[in-house]
Amino acid sequence: MNLRTIAAPAALAALLLACGPATSEVAEDKYYGPIDASALDARLRAATGARCPTGVTSCYPAQQVSLHGATITIYNMGTVAPAPASPTLTFAAGGTLAATFVTGAPYAYHFPDQCQPDFAYDAFADPYPNDRQFPVFSALPLTSTAVVLPIVRVTGVSGLTDNPCNALKKTASIEAGNFGAAPDDNKTAFQARLWAVIDPAALVVPLSSTSTLLPQFGWFKGLILAYLDGGRIPTNAAGAVLSMEGVVVDPAGTGSSTLTANKVIILPFGPDEALYSPIVRLRHFRAATGTQPGAYTALCTRATSTGGLPPCTGAPNEVDMSSASVLAPAETLIAVTSSN
């Protein structure tokens, strides 16, 4: 054996080490902290002042509304004025919003269980839990001149391998195929949902002492966010958004109710009913002299075409939706309700 025969394998080994392995490990997306909630559309920012509990500077308060004669609580995610004040917010016959409110909406990849969980979460040491994957949003509902409705096209991801939960924090990483990600077509394979992005640092006041509805976490470009799930957005065969029509009861006289006040809004259907929608067009009704707005708690109709409403019985708590005293829809309420 000579020096030349020894040198050849050594040179080959050095070359292989210089080239490195054929494939490299996919890096996790970096974490950049929480979103800047002050940039959210004003309807989605936290309330301040008297609507929050004592000692709390900002919060998402629960609002009492009426449904079928009973009081329930909701999160009121804001109201928007219809045309002409908001020219892009136009309802067609039957209470539908143009399909473009869905087709042009942000999307989110949702794959909560397709990851390797880490259950060892320390609330003091870890910035977020990793027992499940948070959805990854394509955009945030930021302040703009257009009407902001927090509609999100929720779609899935397949093909993932060896990805720790929340390793993926950007839609770009998913669409690049990191960790084997194969995203569904967000233009055709999605469910439209009301996912209202909120400030992750603000207190969310529980709907009730027994409610299990809690804010969820999500990602946008490595930033963590919180959102409230208002449920599925119903659509018709053409893809247009179906709303439902409720009532806001104004006090006797000439004043108007504050749309965030308790017990002034009446909803026609609850979240477990077929005709429910989290987007509600509000009609105005004037309380009778000597009667408080909160005395009206149920909707009914005397019309032949009921729209799913029960017939009026003449009870003093009813508002007849077919009455001329009920004005045409004037506002749109974005609501998050819960049956628990």
The two tokens of residue 318 are 């009813």
Q: Inform me whether the pLDDT recorded for 19 exceeds 60.
A: no
The rounded distance, in Å, linking the Cα atoms of 55 and 340 is 27
**Residue 169 — very low, low, confident or very high, per pLDDT cuts 50/70/90?**
very high
Residue 256 and residue 225 share a domain: no
Average pLDDT over residues 153-167: 96
Torsion angle defined by CA atoms of residues 95, 100, 106 and 107, in that order, rounded to the nearest 10 degrees:
90
Average pLDDT over residues 183-191: 95
The answer to whether residue 157 sits within a structural domain is yes
Q: Inform me whether the pLDDT recorded for 175 exceeds 60.
A: yes
pLDDT at residue 83 in the model: 78
Residues 260 and 60 sit within 8 Å (Cβ to Cβ):
no
Average pLDDT over residues 306-315: 95
The rounded distance, in Å, linking the Cα atoms of 91 and 49 is 34
Residue 193 and residue 51 share a domain: yes
Residue 272 structural domain: 241-337
The answer to whether residue 332 sits within a structural domain is yes
Q: Inform me whether the pLDDT recorded for 185 exceeds 90.
A: yes
pLDDT at residue 125 in the model: 85
**Residue 180 — very low, low, confident or very high, per pLDDT cuts 50/70/90?**
very high
Q: Which residue has the higher pLDDT, 17 or 115?
A: 115
Q: Inform me whether the pLDDT recorded for 11 exceeds 50.
A: no
pLDDT at residue 16 in the model: 38
pLDDT at residue 323 in the model: 96
Average pLDDT over residues 157-172: 97
Looking from the CA of 184 toward its CB, the CA atoms found within 13 Å total 17
The answer to whether residue 257 sits within a structural domain is yes
Average pLDDT over residues 27-41: 95
Listed residue (285, 253, 290) closest to 266, CA to CA? 285
pLDDT at residue 325 in the model: 95
Q: Count of domains in the chain?
A: 2
Phi then psi for 136, rounded to 5 degrees? -115, 115
The answer to whether residue 333 sits within a structural domain is yes
Average pLDDT over residues 63-90: 91
Mean of all residue pLDDT scores within the chain: 90
Residue 168 and residue 54 share a domain: yes
Domain boundary among 188, 213, 232: 232
Residue 225 and residue 177 share a domain: yes
Q: Which residue has the higher pLDDT, 144 or 241?
A: 241
The answer to whether residue 90 sits within a structural domain is no
Residue 200 and residue 254 share a domain: no
Average pLDDT over residues 317-332: 95
pLDDT at residue 147 in the model: 87
Domain boundary among 232, 266, 297: 232
Q: pLDDT digits over 194-234, tens only?
A: 999 999 999 999 999 888 889 999 999 999 999 999 999 99
User: What is the enclosing helix (H) or strand (E) of 155?
Assistant: strand 151-155
Residues 245 and 329 sit within 8 Å (Cβ to Cβ):
yes
Domain boundary among 166, 201, 232: 232
> Computed from CA positions of residues 39, 127, 49, 63, in that sequence, does the dihedral angle turn out positive or negative?
positive
The neighbouring-strand residues paired with 157 are: 183
The rounded distance, in Å, linking the Cα atoms of 16 and 263 is 74
Q: Inform me whether the pLDDT recorded for 97 exceeds 50.
A: yes
Q: pLDDT digits over 232-270, tens only?
A: 999 999 999 999 999 999 999 999 999 999 999 999 999
The rounded distance, in Å, linking the Cα atoms of 283 and 256 is 12
Q: Inform me whether the pLDDT recorded for 22 exceeds 60.
A: no
Residue 218 and residue 123 share a domain: yes
The answer to whether residue 6 sits within a structural domain is no
The answer to whether residue 91 sits within a structural domain is no
Average pLDDT over residues 88-107: 90
Minimum mean pLDDT range among 3-7, 155-159, 162-166, 190-194? 3-7
Residue 223 and residue 285 share a domain: no
pLDDT at residue 340 in the model: 67
pLDDT at residue 13 in the model: 38
The rounded distance, in Å, linking the Cα atoms of 160 and 183 is 10
Average pLDDT over residues 62-85: 93
Start-to-end CA distance of the chain, whole Å, equals 83
